[in-house]
Structure 1
Amino acid sequence: MPHAPDTMTSADILIETLINWNVDTVFGLPGDGINGIMEALRVRQDRIRFIQVRHEESAAFMATAHAKWTGRLGVCLATSGPGGAHLLTGLYDAALDRAPVLAITGMQAHDLVDTFTQQDVDLTRVFNDIAVFNTRVADAAHMETVAGLACRAALAHRGVAHLAIANDMQEQALDDAARSSRNKPRHTPDQWFQGRRLPMEADLDRAAEVLNAASRVMILAGRGAAGAAAELEATADLLAAPIAKALLGKAVLPDDHRHVTGGIGMLGTLPSQEAMEQCDALVIIGSTFPYIEYYPEPGQARAVQIDRDAERIGLRYPVEVGLVGDAAETLRLLNDRLRRKTDRRFLEQAQAGMTRWRRMMAMARSKTDMPLKPQVVAAAFGRRLPDTAILASDSGQNTELAARHVDLRPGQDYSVSGTLASMACGLPYAIAAGLAFPDRPVFAIVGDGGFAMQLGEFSTAVRYGVPLKLLVIKNGMLNQIVWEQMMFLGNPQFGCELQPIDFAKAAEAMGGTGFTIDRPEDVERVLDQAFATDGAVVIQAVVDAYEPMMPPKLPPQKARNFRQALPETPGHERIEAAIAAEPLHSMIEAGTGGDDKAG
């Protein structure tokens, strides 16, 4: 039974605070450093659920994904020492993508801390690089204040908050705490306050002047533009502007929208890159897309950026006007000041480019070659996603497949580890989505490298009844790293081969269902069977390991590096054949201008 209010322990206060802050899920793994917190969760399991993971890294990824999918606070829990340290990768994901997450970790007994006892790791020091709020809880009276403050800090700063709690202090009753005379009970409310954040009127006028004077306006939209689709459409129409989407902004507008030119960067499209190279004005909305080389040349375009965080304005490109405010509100105010452009040629050029790009991608998706091409199965998987689907991907070549070959429709959602770009995120992201939205179908595209890192987490999907359909791109290779080794420095592939795992059998061993596709003529039939199967499903697609991953335009230097690395790279004959065929041949030609020496 729960403790009476006057005998609430630190752990009770913590969990009651989470409930009051509308937290309904805690992701974690038990350990003796958090026994008190586990008991507080046990006696409240009718009001807050504990999701047991197989690795604490997954708990942090799930908490991060929960925050991204829902907009609410994500919470992860780990024991002292190694348990807390295992959270780090997922928490860096939250910190870099600005997701509000509270990490709770245990500690050894308060009077043995820093005495070299077992698992004596000062996790407040470990987390200091990533946390917007980070403290060691002194006692129950301290917990009464800092638990809500940690929640508030994570939400207000959209970052990671951390509470470290000694295991004996978790069980300390509030009336046993040595409360100081100035620490009045319950002096901090369990709520936080949000207001409208709007830019200055003068900045709106200046932004409108810049954009009204331009003739070739490009828009870059990121995750911060979510919830502003109608306003973004109106802006693009007024400015006759193509819209490139950063990866985290993939679901902001449908991929077939008349203004959308697809992704940007290594995973992007040729029309997006060409529009960036030719624009004379750039509008960045809710994005800090990190690859500076894919922006216009500094001085080429006048730039306006909209972000609710002033620190993010001008991070990637010299910005003439920064509009600090929420995307939808700011765009509404800006649109009232914009004049509709009568010259639509820049937009029409981008639209014609997208028609050509889609034809090129259709070539890749229709190949009947053996070994099976990954684009074929990724596109067929994407076509089957229902209208309310939630899609996650991992980091690697599978990200490129999701970005280029899965066209999202209205009502569908997508996320990934963005700025951190960590492997092993796809499965935890998908599980978090299924738990947050049990009425929506959940899907993931992952690689064999990333999936193997957290393979046991598939049993978590089975355990909690997540009806996940997970496509594993199995090429026996850390494929993205292969092409980066070759293109970035001109080095032959080395160290990237993977020992094969039968993921279909592994899925069945964990209580799910497994399917295998290894021939193009089987793709449609097997996918139909897999999508008709209830519960957690793995579809392993055995694909060509030598299908290159290319940017939309291969720069001359990278083309020279690639050519230099080819002769000593295993399978170079098959790679040569692949790049001689469409659409890869055209993608290389676009960057090198037909220079055979470069390409």
Structure 2
Amino acid sequence: MADRTVADLVVERLRAWHVPRVFGSPGAAIAPVVAALDAAGGDPEFIPARHEESAAFMASGHAKFTAEVGVCLATQGPGAVHLLDGLYDAKLDSKPVVAIVGEDVTGPLGGAYEEIGLSRLFGDVCHQFVRYGRLPGQVPALLDQAFRTATATRSPTCVVLPHALQVATVPDLQPQAAGVMSGVPGGPLARVLPHDADLDAAASLLTTGRRVAILVGQGAHDAAAEIVALADRLGAGVATSLLGKPVLDERLPFHTGVLGEVGTTAAAQLMGGCDTLLLVGTNDPWTDWFPLPGQVRTVQVDIDGRRIGTRYPVDVPLVGDATETLRALLARVPARPNQRWRGVVESAVDRWRQTAAERAAAPAEPINPQRVLQELSARLPHRGAVAVDVGSVIYWYARHLELPPGVRAQLCGTLGSMGCALPYALAAKLARPDEPVLALLGDGAMQFNGLAELITVAHHWRRWRDPRLVVLVLNNRDHSGAGGDGRGPFGALGDRRPDVPYAGWARLLGLHGVRVDRPELVGPAWDEVLAADRPSVLEAVVDPAVPLESPEPALADLRGLVADGDAARRVRDRMLDTRMTVEAEDLR
């Protein structure tokens, strides 16, 4: 019987933490751990990515779609550097990930090939926890601490294991490490509720509000029923952050959609007309679309007290879990809905939906990208997952894809790094192989990581109970990401991308591929790929000149006058420039 090594201990600790799979790319400095994973019989499974950046995105995507700790590994030097993008994604979107990095510092004259100072490299992105393994007996506790820290802080952590340590033998008499905490890995460590006095103050503020708006973020992911109940009691309108889009049923008549640059006019108008704002689990950075400072009184609910008031002034802070905090508020808030305000909100939603339909139906050469997402919206399976990349596709996803309850959706919401969607989709599919998964991306993102990771899809798909992993590529050959208004980093003179036969590449790998360049064939193309017996690439040739048309912030012309309250009020009286705000004035 072979001697037990530290690499075997690593696998045992991963198994103890119920880690189903590890994403990574092999290399000499991490080879002993990879070999131990290969010998583990799939518990946990090792998923080799084509690039370490993709592996880190897969780990972050696993954390996002499953609420578990994602795990990735890499070798030293360039391999470790390549992990940074996905780890920063996890850090900025508050997801638990553990990175295991190998290091071999033996070399001529004391200098190792590919040597980089890993403590400094990961010191920012994994600032909560970066540790080196030194002795075999330390490794189990070190990994446990990395997992506990990632879970408690909702952030990435890093453990560096020297190659010599990985191959070190562990005496048979060494006691096994103690079992890890009970419960679901990645779940909350404790019940967190605000003080009664704060809940009473928040309930009083919300009850006295005449025009209440609720902004929902990803931190409210389990609180949909409580948000709807509170909105009905107050007659409130609801908007979401981009990351909060999957939280609520978007078919609700008072759901105004996503707020911000990629969002809807109805959401911007809701913020412009409200006098009371409830923020639930959101750290939305698009504050230009928030109400004018001084316009509203605000309650914010967040489990992380460090985020209270960082984006907008708050009158009543509530540090606590969103679901339980909202239940406590519901027990204190009487049913006093303002039906006139709710009617104003619903009218704005109806106008926006008509506008969105008109935009999607507008002619383009050859296909309007908005139509592609609208056609999907009518066909979207009522279970499964959607992964969205960075670029103009985010605008069309935010406005035109209506997510039914039960469909999970994720994107690189805060970092905004291109190339995440296909790694995310793979992580989601591996976690639930019996459900359909869609990846939505542009041709630029497909050329970043997508073409390579389709090889990974081709390697795994025959084991999936539901073979559907559909990759939409919006092929506009535009490097700028600006859309027709020329607002991207390269302006209106954006470089043209080389054209790639994306659907043909899928067919070459043994997958299904469809290329569509006529608008009347978009719907049938979706029907074909959603019914395919294997993963598919739908390549839609779309018009790069279609404008992004970001909504104007309500009362945008007043934002330079907020320092002069009297001037702002005078101008506001004569410059109510949205229909919703005008109607809101009539309710005063």
CA distance in 1, matches of 2:108, 2:6: 18
CA distance in 1, matches of 2:230, 2:485: 37
Task: Determine which of 53, 66, 69 is the counterpart of 1:70.
Answer: 66
Q: Contact 1:554 / 1:590 at 8 angstroms: preserved in 2?
A: no
Aligned-partner residue type, residue 162 of structure 2: A
Q: One-letter code of the match for 2:209? A: A
Divergent runs of 4+, >4 A: 111-114, 184-189, 482-485, 554-558
User: Is structure 2 residue 483 aligned with structure 1 residue 493?
Assistant: no
Does the CA contact (< 8 Å) of 2:217 and 2:284 recur in 1? yes
The answer to whether the 8 A contact 1:223-1:286 is kept is yes
Q: Find the aligned partners of 2:432 and 2:491 in 1 and give their Cα distance.
A: 45
Task: Encode CA deviations 1:441-467: one digit per residue, 9 max, x unaligned.
Answer: 001110011111012101111211063
Query: Which aligned pairs between 1:161-240 and structure 2 lie closer than 5 A?
Result: 161-175=157-171, 189-191=179-181, 194-240=189-235
1:540 aligns with 2:539: yes
Which residue identity does 2:163 align to in structure 1?
Answer: N
State the shift of 1:87 in Å: 0.6
CA distance in 2, matches of 1:258, 1:124: 51
- Tell me what 1:575 maps to: none
Task: Supply the distance in 2 between the matched residues of 1:187 and 1:371 (Cα, whole angstroms).
Answer: 62
Range moving further from structure 2, 152-161 or 363-372:
363-372
User: Is 2:539 aligned against 1:549?
Assistant: no
1:482 to partner: Cα distance: 5.5
Counterpart amino acid of residue 164 in structure 1: V
Which deviates further from its counterpart, 499-508 or 393-402? Answer: 499-508
Which residue of the other structure, out of 45, 48, 71, is the alignment partner of 2:44? Answer: 48
TM-score (norm 1): 0.87
Task: Give 1:111-190 correspondences, 5 Å limit.
Answer: 115-131=110-126, 132-175=128-171, 189-190=179-180
Aligned AA (1:162):
C
For residues 235 and 264 of structure 1, what CA distance do their matches in structure 2 show? 20
| Cα separation, 1, equivalents of 2:473 and 2:514 | 10
Q: CA deviation at 1:485?
A: 5.6
- SS for the counterpart of 2:403 is coil
Q: What residue is the counterpart of 1:564 in the other structure?
A: none
Q: Which residue of 1 is the match for residue 76 of structure 2? A: 80
> What amino acid does structure 2 have at the position aligned with 1:471?
L
548-557 vs 521-530, which moves further: 548-557
From 338, 352, 358, give the equivalent of 1:357. Answer: 352
Conserved? CA contact 2:193–2:321, under 8 Å: yes
The residue matched to 2:440 in structure 1 has which SS? strand
- Measured after TM superposition, the shift of residue 115 of structure 1 is 3.8
2:574 match? none
- Deviation track 1:452-495 (CA, whole Å, cap 9, x = no partner) reads 1012101111211063111111111135345686389xx84244
Give, in whole Å, the separation in 1 of the partners of 2:393 and 2:435.
23
Is the contact between residue 476 and residue 544 of structure 2 (CA under 8 Å) also seen in structure 1? yes
TM-score by length of 2: 0.89
- SS of 1:262's partner is strand
CA positional deviation for 1:27: 0.6
Q: What is aligned with 1:330?
A: 325
Q: Distance in 1 between matches of 2:403 and 2:338?
A: 29
Question: For structure 1, which segment, 228-237 or 476-485, has the greater mean C-alpha deviation from structure 2 after superposition?
Answer: 476-485
Q: Show the counterpart of 1:108.
A: 104
1:468: which partner in 2?
469
Q: How far is the alpha carbon of 1:50 from its aligned partner?
A: 0.6
SS in 2 for 1:296: coil
For 2:426 and 2:347, the matched residues in 1 are separated by 39
Does 1:23 find its partner at 2:22? Answer: no
Separation (CA, whole Å) in 1 of partners of 2:406 and 2:322: 19
- Give the CA deviation at 1:382: 2.5
More off after superposition, 528-537 vs 243-252: 528-537
Change (3 A) 1:166 1:481: farther
**d(CA) in 1 for partners of 2:182 and 2:69?**
12
Q: Distance in 1 between matches of 2:109 and 2:542?
A: 51
Q: Compute the displacement of 1:335 (Å).
A: 0.9
Count of aligned pairs: 549
Name stretches of at least 5 consecutive residues in structure 1 with no aligned partner: 178-183, 559-588, 594-599
Aligned-residue sequence identity (percent) comes to 38
- Corresponding residue number in structure 2 for 1:597: none
Alpha carbons of 1:104 and 1:342: their partners in 2 closer, same or farther (altered >3 Å)? closer
Q: How far, CA to CA, are the matches of 2:230 and 2:120 in structure 1?
A: 45
Name the counterpart of 2:563: none
Structure 2 partner of 1:477: 478
Aligned mates of 1:240, 1:481 — CA distance in 2: 38
Post-superposition shift, 1:155? Answer: 0.8
What 5-or-longer segments of structure 2 have no aligned partner? 184-188, 462-466, 558-576, 582-588
Tell me whether 1:310 sits opposite 2:281 in the alignment. Answer: no
Counterpart of 2:368 in structure 1 is 373
Distance 1:175 1:267 in 2: 58
* Amino acid in structure 2 at the alignment position of 1:273: A
- In the alignment, what sits opposite 2:93? 97
CA distance in 1, matches of 2:108, 2:233: 62
Measured at CA, do residues 342 and 148 of structure 1 come closer, stay the same or move farther in structure 2, by a change above 3 Å? Answer: closer
Shift of 1:496: 3.6
On the 8 A contact 1:397/1:479 being kept in 2, the answer is no
Closer/same/farther in 2, CA of residues 239 and 479 from structure 1, 3 Å limit: farther
Once the two structures are TM-superposed, the CA of residue 185 in structure 1 deviates from its matched residue by 5.7
Q: How do residues 515-594 of structure 1 correspond to structure 2 at under 5 angstroms?
A: 515-553=514-552
Q: 1:108 to 1:469 in 2, by over 3 A?
A: same
Q: Is the 8 A contact 2:289 2:553 kept in 1?
A: no
CA contact (8 A) 1:27 1:77 kept: yes
Amino acid corresponding to residue 515 of structure 1 in structure 2: V
Q: Which moved more, 1:475-484 or 1:341-350?
A: 475-484
Alignment match, 1:415: 410
Q: State the one-letter code of the partner of 2:398.
A: A
- CA deviation vs aligned residue, 1:80-129 (integer Å, no higher than 9, x gap): 111111010000000000111001111014x6699432011122211110
Inter-partner Cα distance in structure 1 for 2:4 and 2:408? 41
Q: 1:437 to 1:324 in 2, by over 3 A?
A: same
CA RMSD between the two structures: 2.4
Residue 387 in structure 1 maps to residue 389 in structure 2: no
In the aligned structure 2, how far is the partner of 1:287 from the partner of 1:217? 17
- The 1:357–1:319 alpha-carbon spacing in structure 2 relative to 1, beyond 3 Å, is same
Query: Structure 2: how far apart are the matches of 1:24 and 1:332?
Result: 33
Cα distance, 1:370 vs. partner? 3.2
Correspondence for 1:510: 509
Question: Which residue among 243, 248, 251 is the counterpart of 2:243?
Answer: 248
Relative to structure 1, is the Cα distance of residues 122 and 525 closer, same or farther in structure 2, using a 3 angstrom cutoff?
A: same
Partner residue in 1 for 2:4: 8
| Rounded Cα–Cα distance in structure 2 between residues aligned with 1:370 and 1:514 | 22
Task: Report the AA paired with residue 190 of structure 1.
Answer: V
**Aligned partners of 1:164, 1:390: CA distance in 2, in Å?**
33
* Correspondence for 2:564: none
CA contact (8 A) 1:474 1:542 kept: yes
Shift of 1:526: 2.2
Spell out, residue by residue over 1:332-364, the C-alpha distance to the aligned partner (whole angstroms, 9 max, x if none): 001111122242222211110110111111112
The match for 1:292 is: 287
Shift of 1:368: 4.6
1:129-178 per-residue CA deviation (whole Å, 9 max, x = no partner) reads 0112111111211212201111111111111010111111101123399x
TM-superposed deviation, 1:188:
5.5
Show the counterpart of 1:432.
Answer: 427
CA 1:17 to 1:286, structure 2 compared with 1: closer, same or farther past 3 Å?
same
